Amino acid sequence: MLQILTITSIRYLLNKLGVGLYISKHVKFPLRDELKHKIQSFMNFDFSRIETKMTYNYDYKNIFAKILRKEIPNKTLLETEYSLAFEDINPQAPIHILLIPKGPYVDIDHFTQEASDAEIIDFNRAIGEVCRLTGVQPCNDGNGFRVISNSGEHGVQEVPHLHLHILGGRSLGRMLPRESL
């Protein structure tokens, strides 16, 4: 059986096993050799092949992780193999849908660096499908929509799991007020 493992999936597995992991360009693992060998054997994975820097720590207790584990209910609009779209519980427009990847990604930067091609394609196609389902597509007599993804402190990201806000159903005005820099 061929296994394709991303750094995020390795981190997730090790987190579940209660093992810390640090990955840098020089690959440093705070794992005893014996444990590393067991994990390598179990996963049939060569740790020495990892050559990227892991800069994100995913919080498995965030609200979207709980929704994905079905610990918190939601009003699902669309579910695919890698994505979930549901109604925002505090809508800011007549149509306000949240779209999240099912993988443990903190923000769009994390996602684009570490998600598989299949996850990225699925997530992007889900945007179009949500717009079709909600009737906001300008090409199908809808009046348009806005997609927002907040990231980090300056982006005012409130939940540390990548999520897109898809808003429509009324004029949304300017995205940001004009201010002098």
Angle separating helix axes 33-43 and 7-16, nearest 10 degrees? 120
Q: Which helix (H) or strand (E) holds 33?
A: helix 33-43
Q: Report residue 151: phi and psi, to 5°.
A: -145, 125
DSSP 70-137: TSS---EEEE-SSEEEEE-SS-SSSEEEEEEESS--SSHHHHHHHS-HHHHHHHHHHHHHHHHHHT--
Query: Across-strand partners of 85?
Result: 78, 99
- The vertex-13 CA angle with 30 and 24, nearest 5°, equals 40
Q: Classify residue 48 by its DSSP letter.
A: G
Which one of the listed residues 37, 96, 110, 163 is annotated catalytic? 163
Catalytic annotation on 165?
no
Residue among 93, 104, 105, 100 nearest 127 (CA): 100
Catalytic residues: 163
